[in-house]
């Protein structure tokens, strides 16, 4: 399978290397000093050194598979599986709402050089994916091509509409079902498996390496699952209020029940009338915790917390959402620990 269609032309490589050489010369003032003070021999040595340095990053990067993911969670998992054979970048940062990412020109440039584009799917990226892929003019990452992967393949999806008519009325951002499946650690194993299969297709010579990393990933998830379940064991069957419907997969896995949501529909900010209903529900159902992502407006949730006495727990829902959530494992660690603290306080 030919996935790497275009190598840079010799002229293009020359330009890139020259740019590196200039960057190094500017960056290291001591080099400039020596160039001025040194003799011809010194100048030659330094020039050769700069040239050597300029070659290193290019050849280093060229050998790797360039992966562009839409979210930081997919990036984290792709990095684990791909290891030193891949270079991964993410469009969304962990502190951003992944439903609403701006299709910046810089994202199109990133997509231009991607060998593999990985998305969450279920229309999570509907507002920006097409614009970025079209703008990149990179045909190998188009939907349906081997360079495009929908990570939701094989996931047991929740809240999929039962009618064939998709309803986007009032701005509902979950018209194809709930896309936040990465928050169930067992779904992370499915994502990891999907990424592994695709990397093996793209780079069959590294199949053994990718499969070994997948085995390690699964082992690590299984070990952590025991710990996460143990921590949340006492709160099994407990009800939580949530801001956005990011949490049903997580709640299902750990035996928690979602009692109500602050958003009247996914993607629609809470109205005063709806918040009043939420306050009543929390009181009636004796809900102790309101779980909210880091990027939403805290005011409505604080209002509900004050009115009900429920504890507002703000957590990242993606890797990088807070400084503790450095990778997929520490993301779930953070959510579990903060939730436990919330239930206990």
Point out which residues bind Zn ion (CB under 5 A): 266
CB of residue 182 vs Zn ion: minimum separation in angstroms? 11
Shortest-Cβ-distance residue relative to Zn ion: 266
CB of residue 26 vs Zn ion: minimum separation in angstroms? 45
Between the alpha carbon of residue 37 and those of residues 26, 156, 190, 242, the distances in Å are 16, 68, 60, 66
The maximal CA–CA distance of the chain, rounded, in angstroms, is 85
140 vs 208: CA distance, rounded Å: 24
Name the residue nearer to Zn ion (CB basis): 266 or 320. Answer: 266
25 vs 89: CA distance, rounded Å: 28
Helix (H) or strand (E) holding 292: strand 289-293
Name the residue nearer to Zn ion (CB basis): 94 or 266. Answer: 266
CB of residue 178 vs Zn ion: minimum separation in angstroms? 7
Considering just the CA atoms, what is the radius of gyration of the chain in Å? 24
DSSP string, 297-311: -HHHHHHHHHHH-PE
**Of 142, 125, 134, whose CA–CA distance to 91 is shortest?**
125
Name the residue nearer to Zn ion (CB basis): 180 or 198. Answer: 180
Residues, the chain: 345
CB of residue 255 vs Zn ion: minimum separation in angstroms? 22
311 vs 241: CA distance, rounded Å: 10
Name the residue nearer to Zn ion (CB basis): 202 or 319. Answer: 319
Pull the structure tokens for residue 157: 């999806």
CB of residue 173 vs Zn ion: minimum separation in angstroms? 5
CB of residue 180 vs Zn ion: minimum separation in angstroms? 6
279 vs 290: CA distance, rounded Å: 11
Rounded (10°) angle between helices 298-308 and 272-285? 40
Name the residue nearer to Zn ion (CB basis): 65 or 173. Answer: 173
CB of residue 179 vs Zn ion: minimum separation in angstroms? 6
Name the residue nearer to Zn ion (CB basis): 175 or 266. Answer: 266
Name the residue nearer to Zn ion (CB basis): 266 or 342. Answer: 266
177 vs 161: CA distance, rounded Å: 6
Name the residue nearer to Zn ion (CB basis): 214 or 251. Answer: 251
CB of residue 114 vs Zn ion: minimum separation in angstroms? 24
Beta bridge partner(s), residue 110: none
DSSP state of 267: T
**Rounded to the nearest 5°, which phi and psi values hold at 287?**
-80, 130
């Amino acid at each position: 399978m030919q996935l790497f269609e275009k190598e840079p032309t010799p002229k293009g490589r020359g330009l890139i290397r020259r740019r590196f050489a200039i960057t190094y010369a500017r960056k290291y003032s001591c080099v400039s000093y020596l160039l001025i003070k040194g003799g011809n021999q010194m100048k030659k040595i330094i020039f050769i050194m700069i040239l050597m340095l300029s070659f290193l990053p290019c050849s280093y990067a060229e050998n790797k598979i360039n992966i562009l993911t839409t979210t930081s969670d997919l990036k984290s998992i792709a990095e684990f599986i791909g290891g030193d054979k891949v270079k991964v970048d993410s469009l969304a940062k962990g502190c951003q709402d992944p439903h609403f990412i701006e299709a910046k020109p810089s994202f199109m440039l990133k997509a231009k050089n991607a060998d593999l584009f990985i998305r969450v799917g279920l229309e999570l990226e509907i507002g920006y994916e097409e614009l970025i892929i079209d703008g990149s003019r990179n045909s190998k990452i188009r939907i349906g091509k081997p360079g495009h992967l929908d990570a939701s393949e094989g996931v047991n999806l929740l809240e999929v509409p039962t009618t064939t008519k998709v309803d986007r009325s009032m701005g509902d951002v979950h018209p194809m079902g709930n896309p936040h499946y990465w928050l169930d650690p067992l779904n992370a194993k499915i994502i990891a498996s999907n990424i592994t299969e695709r990397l093996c297709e793209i780079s069959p010579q590294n199949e053994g390496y990718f499969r070994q990393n997948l085995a390690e990933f699964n082992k690590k998830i299984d070990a952590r699952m025991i710990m996460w379940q143990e921590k949340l064991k006492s709160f099994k069957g407990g009800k939580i209020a949530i801001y956005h419907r990011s949490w049903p997969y997580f709640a299902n896995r750990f035996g928690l029940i979602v009692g109500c949501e602050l958003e009247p529909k996914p993607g629609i900010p809470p109205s005063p009338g709806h918040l009043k209903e939420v306050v009543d529900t929390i009181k009636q159902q004796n809900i102790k915790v309101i779980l909210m992502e880091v990027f939403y407006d805290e005011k409505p949730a604080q209002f509900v917390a004050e009115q009900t006495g429920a504890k507002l727990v703000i957590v990242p829902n993606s890797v990088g959402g807070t400084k503790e959530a450095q990778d997929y494992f520490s993301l779930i660690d953070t959510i579990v620990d903060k939730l436990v603290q919330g239930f206990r306080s």
